[in-house]
Amino acid sequence: MRTAPEITLPLSLEDEETGSSIPGRLAAQLRRLIAGAVLSPGDPVPSSRALAAHLGVSRGSVVAAYDQLLAEGYLSAAVGRSTVVNPQLRGVHPRPQRHVPSVQVEARAGLDLRPGRPWALDVVGPAWKAAWRRASVAPVDIAVPTLGLPQLRDAWVEHLRRMRAVVRAPDQIAVTGGGREGFALLLLALADGRPSRLRVGVEEPGYPSLRRVPARLGATVVPVPVDRHGLRVTDLPTGADAPDLLIVTPSHQYPLGGSMPVERRQALLEWARRHEVVVVEDDYDSELRYTSEPLPALAALDDPAEGRVVLLGTLSKTLTPALATGFLVLPGWLVPTVSQARRDLGQPVGLVAQLAVANYLDSGALRLHTQRMRNRYRRRRAQVVEALSGVPGVRVHPMDGGLHAVVETDRPEGDVVGELAARGVRVSPLSEYWSGAGSSGIVFGFGAVSETELARGLDLITAIATP
């Protein structure tokens, strides 16, 4: 039960016309407070004695004002209870509809198949809860080091050694607030705070959100071509045309899905050393492979101290993007530069979140969860391949891993995307992964939906994409 408030209501009888009575002026002010939602249905009003003393008027004047509002239905009173704003007020005095300027709100689709989302419903289990419970009772007076908590950096080192064959020291790990935050930190560090100086190579086609980061910071974006085996190293610019930094997806090119063979990886490392280019390896979903074990990271081939590769990782695909936590694995020579930039910008991931992720990693739960999800996604991949194989006018790119499918169509891309949206199914146009003209088709995710939902989506994609 709500108690009568202290006298903090904005009431002043001096603001009313002096020709009206005190009860009339007080009643008018209370009506306005109720109409303006300062007082809501069910809220108690001050006692007549307290309000009279506050306003410097007789108690009889306040009682008269309350009686008038009781008669009009604005207030409600009962024996033994304080006077309150009528709980049924909206039925007695319905509010007139106010004109609200129209705003464009993105309509909710019946089936969201846009790529990039994992199955997150199984994340919260005993290990997850225990990790956060332990973190929540830890001392809160711990200063978070510039590059992140030692416990989390140690946990990342062990995870990377086991899962990605990358052996590094904990002081080469920088905790980040996710992929884009980590990439922005690196750009600002390399450019000494002036990223407009930088030339940044990006795969064409490539991951839209990451390629927008250097453009947003004012850097020059240089598209570099890919084929079915990933980045075409022989076509990379050289000499004065070489970029300062190149972001690549060697284990699972996004979105086309190719994996860079070892000869290309070695050629890429040699090119980066020769032209002093920093190579950012976006390791976004490399642990989710279906046709073989996860490939070693490009960073595993690089020199830990003097190398050119920075490994960029997050938990957004293996766990959930809601966690917004990731890491940079830095060659030794870059650690002081990134540390200084992080000191200037601050650590974006809070103490409790870092402790919880460290606890979760140390428990081995992430490895078990990844294995379970790999089995789930393998079944979804098979479902996609079976549904779209042999469909006229539809070509499905190989899906050795990941959470999405790339489908080229003979029908115009805009027609396919638009008709699917009209039927409540949201996908991404393939052309948006190019900076210029690209292939016509769609990209859709299969990780975040059930088998039944995916089957419904595939039926519609088959029907609409077919010429």
Q: Measuring CA to CA, which residue among 86, 89, 73 is closest to residue 43? A: 86
Superfamily of domain 111-117+368-465, CATH level 4: Aspartate Aminotransferase, domain 1 (3.90.1150.10)
In the chain, what percentage of residues exceed pLDDT 70? 91
* pLDDT over 90 at 107, yes or no: no
Q: How far apart are CA 333 and CA 338, in angstroms?
A: 10
- Express each pLDDT in 146-200 by its tens digit: 999 999 999 999 999 988 899 999 999 999 999 999 999 999 999 987 888 899 9
Per-domain residue ranges of the chain: 13-92, 111-117+368-465, 126-363
Residue 355: CB atoms within 10 A of its CB come to: 22
> Which CATH number applies to 126-363?
3.40.640.10
- Express each pLDDT in 306-323 by its tens digit: 999 999 999 998 899 899
Q: Are 443 and 405 in contact (CB under 8 A)?
A: yes
Q: Tell me the mean pLDDT in the region 99-107.
A: 41
- Express each pLDDT in 366-392 by its tens digit: 999 999 999 999 999 999 999 999 899
* pLDDT over 90 at 340, yes or no: yes
Residue pointed to by tokens 């809860």:
129
DSSP code string of 189-252:
HHTTT-GGG-EEEEEES--HHHHHHHHHTTPEEEEEEEETTEE-GGGS--GGGS-SEEEE-SSS
Residue 94: CB atoms within 10 A of its CB come to: 8
Q: How far apart are CA 286 and CA 264, in angstroms?
A: 17
* pLDDT over 70 at 7, yes or no: no
Architecture of domain 13-92: Orthogonal Bundle (1.10)
Q: How far apart are CA 318 and CA 294, in angstroms?
A: 13
Question: In this predicted structure, what is the pLDDT of residue 356?
Answer: 96
Of the CA atoms within 13 Å of residue 456, those in its CB half-sphere come to 12
